[in-house]
Amino acid sequence: MQLNRIQAVVRPRNPWESLDLGFSMVQQWWKPLYKIWFTLMLPLFLTVFVLFYENILIATLILWWLKPLYDRILLHFFSRALFGEQPTIRQTLKILPSLLFKTRLFWVLSLGRIELARSFNLPVWQLEGLRGPKASQRRRLLRINTRSTAVWLTIVCIHFEVLLQLSLFVLAYLMLPITENTDFFYTLFYEEALWIDILSLLFMFLIISIIEPLYVAAGFALYLNRRTHLEGWDIELIFRRIATHLAQ
């Protein structure tokens, strides 16, 4: 890890302040991030919709359950961009098999799916590549004074997703003509209509596209902050700058 190339101010933060660092990552790199995101995720959403268009509930459940897969792609981008190496779409596709089979994805998609500190644990699995007792010991060390923040991050993001979903449907209702909006919610809950299914999928894709990058980046920032506290990254960088200055 080349700390001298890091694209952020390295200093010990409290856990809540480190969340802001994660949000700033999304704000700074949103253009290359969403270029990769839409290129990879939009075909996946459309494929699931085509396969299960007769039962939109199953399609929605599958797309929601696959969130850990999206997280790994997002973390790959953030972990490279943080050190000045923004990955391209081709590079992301090339590393995709490794993200599928070497980051405990199948564990998280099964028994580990309900883990509320998922965004904080992900860097240990994906970036450090630890397995077994070593991974468990590492997670126990890192989550001291931090895991509760990661859990609350998950809870808050879930609530934001629900609120955004409701808000988008209410917005769609308000934009309908008066002659049509009286039947909107009846059609939504009691009738099968293709346009409602397409609208639901579109809203879900937009919401995940907004919340999930923020969620992953914030969890990654919590991980970085914890390592800064444990390993003294800020002190190491100061000594490196002093050494460079003396060499000059």
In angstroms, the CA 45 to CA 62 distance is 10
In angstroms, the CA 126 to CA 116 distance is 17
Q: Please provide the average confidence, as pLDDT, over all residues in the chain.
A: 82
Sign of CA dihedral 70, 71, 73, 78: positive
Q: What percent of the chain has pLDDT over 70?
A: 82
Domain span holding position 192: 11-247
Let me know: does 22 contact 226? Beta carbons within 8 Å.
Answer: no
Q: Which amino acid is located at 130 in the chain?
A: L
Closest CA to 155 of 167, 165, 147: 147
What is the per-residue pLDDT across 49-69, written as a single tens digit (0 to 9) for each? 888 877 888 888 999 999 999
Judge whether 46 lies within some domain.
yes
Q: Which amino acid is located at 180 in the chain?
A: E
Q: Tell if the pTM clears 0.85, that is, is over it.
A: yes
Judge whether 219 lies within some domain.
yes
- Pick 164 or 4 by higher pLDDT: 164
Q: Evaluate if residue 4 carries a pLDDT over 70.
A: no
What is the per-residue pLDDT across 136-195, written as a single tens digit (0 to 9) for each? 788 788 888 888 899 999 999 999 999 998 888 778 777 766 555 556 555 555 555 666
Judge whether 75 lies within some domain.
yes
Judge whether 180 lies within some domain.
yes
Tokens 């270029």, residue located = 35
Number of domains in the chain: 1
Judge whether 4 lies within some domain.
no
